[in-house]
Amino acid sequence: MKKPSERIVQMTRFLLASPGRFVTVRELSDELDVSEKTIKRELSAMEKWLSGYALTLNRKPGAGLMLEGEPAAFDSVQDALESFKAPTSYSRDERSYFIISELLLSSEPIKIFAFASRFKVTEGMLSHDLDLIEGWLEAFHIKLMRKPGYGIYVEGTEKDYRAALIHLLHESVDEYELIRLVRDPMNESGQVIGQIHHHIRSRLLNLVEDNTIIIIEKYLTELEEKTGMKLTDSAFIGLAVHLALAIERIRIGQHIKIPPSVLSELRLHPDFNAAQMLVQSLEEALGLTIPEDEIGYITMHLKGAQTRIQIEEAVSDVAYENVSFELVRLARQILKKAESKTGFELKSNSKLFYAFISHLGPALERLKLGLDIRNPLLSQIKEQYAITYEIARECANVIEEYLEKPVPEAEIGYIALHIAAMSEYAGVKYRQRSIRVLIVCASGMGTSSLLQTRIRKEFPSLQIVDVISAAEVSELDEQVDLVITTVDLTSKRQVVRVSPLLGETDMKKVRTALEQLEPLPELQPALSEEIAYLPDTLEKQKNLIQGIQDLMNNLVIEDQVHSRTITELIFKVAKQFTAQEDDASTLIRELHDRERLGKTILSTEGIFLLHCRSTVIHRLTLGIIRFKEPMTYGTEDDANLYAAIILLAPKQSERTYLEAASEVSKSLIDRPGFAIRLSVARQDALTKEIQGILKDLYLRKMEQYTMEVEQI
* Cα gap 157→136, rounded to integer Å: 16
The amino acid occupying position 274 is A
Report the pLDDT value the prediction gives residue 446, as an integer from 0 to 100.
59
- Of the residues 285, 303, 321, which one is the last residue of a structural domain? 303
Count other C-beta atoms under 10 Å from residue 508's C-beta.
11
Nearest alpha-carbon partner for 454 in 415, 416, 496: 496
Report the pLDDT value the prediction gives residue 145, as an integer from 0 to 100.
92
Q: Who contacts 167 (Cβ-Cβ below 8 Å, separation ≥6)?
A: 140, 372
Instruction: Give 313-325 as a DSSP string.
Output: GGGSGGGGTTS-H
Give a yes or no: residue 216 inside a domain: yes
pLDDT digits (tens, 9 = 90+) for 537-581: 888 899 999 999 999 999 999 998 888 888 889 999 999 999 899
Strands in 513-605 per DSSP E: 555-561, 600-602
Give a yes or no: residue 529 inside a domain: no
pLDDT digits (tens, 9 = 90+) for 97-107: 778 878 887 77
Give a yes or no: residue 456 inside a domain: yes
Long-range (24+ apart) CB contacts under 8 A made by 528-537 are 531/712, 532/708, 532/709, 532/711, 532/712, 533/712, 534/709, 534/712, 537/705, 537/708, 537/709, 537/712
Q: Environment class of residue 699 by beta-carbon count within 10 Å: exposed (0-12), middle (13-18) or buried (19+)?
A: exposed
Q: Model-level pTM?
A: 0.42
Give a yes or no: residue 580 inside a domain: yes
Identify the sign of the CA torsion 504, 507, 511, 517: positive
Domain that holds residue 246: 163-303
* Cα gap 76→485, rounded to integer Å: 57
The number of folded domains in the chain is 6
Nearest alpha-carbon partner for 128 in 142, 146, 110: 146
CA-to-CA separations, 240 to 178, 196, 272, 345, 363, in angstroms, rounded: 10, 17, 17, 40, 18
Q: Are 334 and 399 in contact (CB under 8 A)?
A: yes
CA angle 399, 375, 294 (to 5 degrees): 80
Please state the three-class secondary structure of 450-467 as a single string.
Answer: HHHHHHHHHCCCCEEEEE
Strands in 264-417 per DSSP E: none
Give a yes or no: residue 522 inside a domain: no
- What integer is the mean pLDDT of 678-682? 84
Question: What does residue 465 show for φ and ψ, rounded to 5 degrees?
Answer: -70, -40
* Cα gap 100→154, rounded to integer Å: 9
Within this chain, do residues 506 and 542 fall inside the same structural domain, yes or no? Answer: no
E strand or H helix at 183, and its extent? helix 175-183
Report the pLDDT value the prediction gives residue 325, as an integer from 0 to 100.
66
* Cα gap 688→693, rounded to integer Å: 9
Give a yes or no: residue 457 inside a domain: yes
* Cα gap 457→349, rounded to integer Å: 12
Nearest alpha-carbon partner for 686 in 184, 236, 166: 184
Residue percentage of the chain with pLDDT more than 70: 82
- What integer is the mean pLDDT of 685-694? 90
Least confident of 202-211, 218-227, 266-275, 369-378: 202-211
Report the pLDDT value the prediction gives residue 407, as an integer from 0 to 100.
93
Within this chain, do residues 194 and 274 fall inside the same structural domain, yes or no? Answer: yes
Kindly tell me if the per-residue pLDDT of 318 is higher than 70. no
- What integer is the mean pLDDT of 97-123? 80
Mean of per-residue pLDDT scores for the chain: 79
Q: How, if at all, do strands 463-469 and 436-441 pair?
A: parallel
Q: Environment class of residue 268 by beta-carbon count within 10 Å: exposed (0-12), middle (13-18) or buried (19+)?
A: exposed
Kindly tell me if the per-residue pLDDT of 388 is higher than 70. yes
Report the pLDDT value the prediction gives residue 177, as an integer from 0 to 100.
54
Long-range (24+ apart) CB contacts under 8 A made by 484-488 are 484/437, 484/438, 484/439, 484/440, 484/451, 484/455, 484/510, 485/439, 485/440, 485/441, 486/440, 486/441, 486/442, 486/447, 486/448, 486/451, 486/597, 486/598, 487/440, 487/441, 487/442, 487/597, 487/598, 488/597
Q: How confident is the model at residue 308 (pLDDT cuts 50, 70, 90)?
A: very low
Count other C-beta atoms under 10 Å from residue 671's C-beta.
18
Within this chain, do residues 285 and 425 fall inside the same structural domain, yes or no? Answer: no
Report the pLDDT value the prediction gives residue 709, as an integer from 0 to 100.
73
- Of the residues 256, 286, 303, which one is the last residue of a structural domain? 303
- What integer is the mean pLDDT of 408-435? 77
Give a yes or no: residue 523 inside a domain: no
Between 385 and 389, where is the model more confident?
389
Q: Who contacts 394 (Cβ-Cβ below 8 Å, separation ≥6)?
A: 337, 341
In the DSSP assignment, the letter for residue 17 is: T
CATH code (residue 74): 1.10.10.10
Give a yes or no: residue 377 inside a domain: yes
The amino acid occupying position 303 is K
CA-to-CA separations, 534 to 527, 542, 543, in angstroms, rounded: 20, 12, 14
Report the pLDDT value the prediction gives residue 307, as an integer from 0 to 100.
54
In the DSSP assignment, the letter for residue 86 is: P
- What integer is the mean pLDDT of 186-206? 40
CATH code (residue 270): 1.10.1790.10
Q: Environment class of residue 492 by beta-carbon count within 10 Å: exposed (0-12), middle (13-18) or buried (19+)?
A: exposed
Residue percentage of the chain with pLDDT more than 90: 13
Q: How, if at all, do strands 607-614 and 600-602 pair?
A: antiparallel
- Of the residues 429, 459, 480, which one is the last residue of a structural domain? 429
Strands in 511-606 per DSSP E: 555-561, 600-602
CATH code (residue 658): 3.40.930.10
- What integer is the mean pLDDT of 523-545? 70
- What integer is the mean pLDDT of 617-633? 88
Between 163 and 429, where is the model more confident?
163
CATH code (residue 449): 3.40.50.2300
Within this chain, do residues 703 and 593 fall inside the same structural domain, yes or no? Answer: yes
pLDDT digits (tens, 9 = 90+) for 30-71: 777 677 888 888 898 899 889 888 889 988 887 889 999 888
Within this chain, do residues 50 and 96 fall inside the same structural domain, yes or no? Answer: no
CA-to-CA separations, 601 to 501, 567, 607, 643, in angstroms, rounded: 8, 15, 6, 10
Q: Are 517 and 484 in contact (CB under 8 A)?
A: no
